[in-house]
Amino acid sequence: MHDLTYPSPGLTAGEGEPSLPGFHTLRLDTDLPPGLFDAAADALFGWRMHRAVPLLRVDAEQPQAATGVRVVLRFGPVAAPCRVVWAVRDENQAAFAYGTLPGHPESGEEAFVLRRDPDGGAVTFTVLAVSRPAAWYARAAGPLGRLLQRTIAVRYAAALRTAATRPS
Return the domain boundaries, the chain. 25-165
Give the global pTM. 0.94
Closest C-alpha among 23, 5, 1, 11 to residue 146 = 23
Closest C-alpha among 40, 41, 31, 30 to residue 89 = 41
The CATH number assigned to the domain with range 25-165 reads: 3.30.530.20
Q: How many CB atoms lie within 10 A of CB 27?
A: 16
The residue ranking higher by pLDDT, 18 or 44, is 44
Exposed/middle/buried for residue 106 (C-beta within 10 Å: 0-12, 13-18, 19+):
buried
Above 60 in pLDDT, residue 122?
A: yes
68 backbone φψ class: left, alpha, beta (φ>0; ψ -120 to 50): left
State the angle between helix axes of 37-45 and 143-165 in degrees (0 to 180), rounded to the nearest 10.
120
Exposed/middle/buried for residue 55 (C-beta within 10 Å: 0-12, 13-18, 19+):
exposed
Computed over every residue of the chain, the mean pLDDT equals 92
**Which of 24-38, 99-113, 135-149 is most confident?**
99-113
